[in-house]
Structure 1
Amino acid sequence: MKNWLKNLGPGVLVSAAFIGPGTVTVCTLAGVEFGFSLLWALLLSVIACIILQEMAARVGLVTQKGLSEVIREEIASPLFRNFAILLIFSAIVFGNAAYEAGNISGAVLGISAIVPSYLLDFGFVSLNLWSLVIGFIAFALLAIGNYKVLERAFIGLVAVMSISFLVTAVLTKPDLSALLKGLFIPSKGSAGLLTVMALIGTTVVPYNLFLHASLVSEKWKGKASLKMAQKELFWSISLGGVVSMAIVVTAAASGVTNVTTAADLAAGLEPVFGRFATWFLALGLFAAGISSAITAPLAAAYVVSGCMGWKKDLTSGKFRLVWAGILVLGMIFSSVGFQPVEIIRFAQVANGILLPVVAVFLLWIVNRSSLMGHSKNSIKLNIAAFLVIGITIFLGARSVFTVLQNL
């Protein structure tokens, strides 16, 4: 057990990254609107996530490099290489800057459920004190520049988040037969298609592929640790999936009929379960928000370092400048209540294109014998990966189509 706990890390960080405020909100809406009937979509998304993240982790362990760095080095055509780098760079950096505001706002949402928000007035601008506090906590953890400290902080946050949502779900006393039916028998109404896409899209996150490849090379040296990395990934992502399902269960069984944000769910639970359940949900939201608020800037820094050929070092000045820029933008947007609609819209289009593109690049790299040797994909893994890529291409096309319809 001691050896197992010692090897926890990269998978836990990835799990913490995809269970952010966006996941909490999407899972809440899915539970309120469709009950347990879309749990199968979460199960599918967890399987897809494990397949893609395992390939990314394998690339990181074997090459001891980040995914963006490997892509830059392996593409021979300068024109195609520059296009790929530009696409990855723009989507991850601008997208993460936009989503960072949501991550910090989600943590604020959690803490505000138990402690009132405080606004600081500076002339024409009012800043939310909790947004600044949470931003500074994330800044402090990243500024330490020590991977082991970050790792321990995330394990603690994931433990709080997992316990909070799981306990809250148990308190709702869900119908187990209906839960199992929703988990293993696919069904949806026509209005549920976008929710299915959202559930899958919020779990299979493009920047996590870059983050994971870099983190495993920080944690372990060489492919001798591959089995341990795979086990840690499987259990961490599976736990993340269970937590997401717990949020759906909580929302479905709570009796709430109208939810626009996850804060409404906390308010809806309070009359039934008192402040006990509200506190658990608030702590879960806080942990989800602050953990994602750390991973988004960290992922952006790894991607930019790989794209630009910089040294991949948590204490590097350039590395710190990237994550600090993403974090400061998120703090500002969250604090003043500014909604960067155009940036988020761009991020939706870019990520809709980016996920299948990154998945294709990843599949190509993980099948290169010259790079991966005996650790390249097996036929079974390739079949599974092709199925996942087919799903991501479909979701990406629908995502772009949906955004373009709203222009």
Structure 2
Amino acid sequence: MPPALEASTAHSCAASPPAPEREPGLLKKIARSLGPGLITGAADDDPSGIATYSQVGAQFGFGLAWVLLFSYPLMAVTQAIAGRIGCVTGDGIARNLRLHYPRWLLRVAVLTLLVANIVNLGADLGAMGAAAQLLVGGPALAYTAAFAALCVLLEVFLSYARYAAVLKWLTLALFAYVLVAFLAGVPWGEAMRGTFIPRLSLSNADEVMAVLAVLGTTISPYLFFWQAAQEVEEQERRQTQPLYVTPKRGDGEIDRVAVDTWVGMGLSNLISWFIILAAAATLHARGVTNIETSAQAAEALRPVAGEFAFVVFALGIVGAGLLAAPVLAGSAAYAVCETFGWTEGLDRKLKDARAFYGVIAVSTFLGFALNFVGLDPIKALYWSAVLNGLLAAPIMAAMLMIASNRKIMREFALGLRMRVAGWLAAAAMAAASAAFLILSALGTG
């Protein structure tokens, strides 16, 4: 190459600007946004929820599949509000209640949450043990104890970043129910009609109770506490400050919380929908209309949908339980520690947050212990649903007051659309709770 041309080429190469970084695509942007909302949504499909959805599908076929479409915006808006509170204030739900509202409201809310979570933990751990027994034989209580210990050890000894990654991977276990639905040979025309054409006989108490059970299962207070607390954990992990301190990051962070929440809740309800479809296409179609536990639902599938579908369903119960049990125990720990001002957080060392990890261990142990006292799974689920249902509407109302208060939320206070949507969700849960209690008092539950 001639020297002049070589020099010209070298100058051209030296002067050329570096190639700009490619803007990440939409799917990559969504994937980067997923975190607390994804885990929270997946944890909503716990073994107790699997039992509820299986029963709804077995008893009513595809007729009540529409409830999950109806509940989706209610739960997504509520969880988005919870996430926003944590992101903006840098505090969880319980601490915001302690700082801004009467102490009696905080104590009642946290005590009720603690009781409901322990009962739910007992039912979930028992379901995991029963599923393992179905898969490999042996004593169910031994498996239950092993799962309880594993959940506590993971929460105590894994760093938050690694633990969050474990929970993210566990969400994949829920896709077992998508596979089961396809293996079951769902008549999709009938399924679509049940999903998009709502029908409900108000004179049929069983149908009304089933709708209330689904709402109580999908919109649960422990998910509010967990979502807000996880946003605070994310700030500590990334070493960023709450939005009220650094408002310039506001638009991007609020958008991230919204995407994370709506995708996470969408995944939750999609999986729940597939569980109903699978039960409707197999159990209801064969006249099996009474399912009391998630393990019983798995066992009932074996003669109808085959051995493979049974194994996939049972493995899904174990995976869902490993995801949900730590969330139940963790949300209780966050609420208790925020109430008393104790150090909390999954990224803390054991020596720095003994009370936090102590609440996780004790609540998990108490849930496990319920399986030794002849825990009736139906009664456990019933009372857990009652407590969660009674607690949901007041906590949702308190969250809306916090999120609408400009002294607390500054420029990130809820706009009109979010306020209206939030209050509609709270009103729906209040009506559901009232109807649940009335029907129970009449002896129809």
Which residue pairs with 1:245 in the alignment?
273
- 1:115-134 to 2 correspondences below 5 Å: 115-118=136-139, 128-134=141-147
* Count of residues in correspondence between the two structures: 393
User: Quick check: 2:225–2:335 contact (8 Å CA) kept in 1?
Assistant: yes
Taking the aligned partners of 2:217 and 2:37, their CA distance within structure 1 comes to 16
Which residue pairs with 2:296 in the alignment?
264
Q: Which amino acid aligns with 1:257?
A: G
Which residue pairs with 2:173 in the alignment?
160
Stretches of 4+ aligned residues off by more than 4 angstroms: 1-4, 339-349, 402-407
Alpha carbons of structure 1 residues 262 and 103: separation in structure 2 relative to 1, 3 Å = closer
2:38 aligns with one of 12, 22, 41? 12
Query: 1:266: Cα distance to partner?
Result: 2.2
Taking the aligned partners of 2:75 and 2:424, their CA distance within structure 1 comes to 12
Q: Secondary structure at the match of 2:91?
A: coil
Matched, 1:173 2:201: no
Which residue pairs with 2:209 in the alignment?
194
Which residue pairs with 1:228 in the alignment?
256
Taking the aligned partners of 1:341 and 1:85, their CA distance within structure 2 comes to 29
2:96 aligns with one of 70, 91, 94? 70
Alpha carbons of structure 1 residues 340 and 88: separation in structure 2 relative to 1, 3 Å = farther
Query: 1:59: Cα distance to partner?
Result: 0.5
RMSD between aligned residues: 2.2
Q: Secondary structure at the match of 1:377?
A: coil
Structure showing greater radius of gyration is 2
Structure 1 spans left out of the alignment, 5+ residues:
76-80, 120-127
Taking the aligned partners of 2:41 and 2:389, their CA distance within structure 1 comes to 21
Query: 1:341: Cα distance to partner?
Result: 9.1
User: Quick check: 1:98–1:343 contact (8 Å CA) kept in 2?
Assistant: yes
1:338-358 deviation line (CA, Å, top 9, x unaligned): 349998776555433311100
Q: Which amino acid aligns with 2:269?
A: G
1:220-266 deviation line (CA, Å, top 9, x unaligned): 34443221121111111101101000000000001342332333332
User: Quick check: 2:216–2:388 contact (8 Å CA) kept in 1?
Assistant: no
Percent identity, aligned pairs only, is 23
1:309 aligns with one of 341, 358, 375? 341
Alpha carbons of structure 1 residues 173 and 384: separation in structure 2 relative to 1, 3 Å = same
User: Quick check: 2:129–2:142 contact (8 Å CA) kept in 1?
Assistant: no
Which has the higher mean CA deviation after the structures are superposed, 370-379 or 277-286? 370-379
Which has the higher mean CA deviation after the structures are superposed, 182-191 or 4-13? 4-13
User: Quick check: 2:51–2:297 contact (8 Å CA) kept in 1?
Assistant: no
2:414 aligns with one of 377, 381, 392? 377
Q: Which amino acid aligns with 1:338?
A: L
Query: 1:156: Cα distance to partner?
Result: 1.6
Structure 2 spans left out of the alignment, 5+ residues:
1-26, 244-248
User: Quick check: 1:98–1:340 contact (8 Å CA) kept in 2?
Assistant: no
- 1:249-328 to 2 correspondences below 5 Å: 249-254=277-282, 255-258=285-288, 259-260=290-291, 261-314=293-346, 315=348, 316-328=353-365
Which has the higher mean CA deviation after the structures are superposed, 271-280 or 232-241? 271-280
Taking the aligned partners of 1:270 and 1:350, their CA distance within structure 2 comes to 34
Taking the aligned partners of 2:210 and 2:57, their CA distance within structure 1 comes to 10
Which residue pairs with 2:224 in the alignment?
209
Taking the aligned partners of 2:281 and 2:154, their CA distance within structure 1 comes to 36
Query: 1:4: Cα distance to partner?
Result: 4.5
Taking the aligned partners of 2:30 and 2:131, their CA distance within structure 1 comes to 31
User: Quick check: 1:61–1:217 contact (8 Å CA) kept in 2?
Assistant: yes
Taking the aligned partners of 2:387 and 2:278, their CA distance within structure 1 comes to 32
Taking the aligned partners of 1:4 and 1:177, their CA distance within structure 2 comes to 31
Q: Could you state the TM-score of these two structures normalised by the residue count of structure 2?
A: 0.83
Which has the higher mean CA deviation after the structures are superposed, 362-371 or 1-10? 1-10
Q: Secondary structure at the match of 1:106?
A: helix
Which residue pairs with 2:48 in the alignment?
22
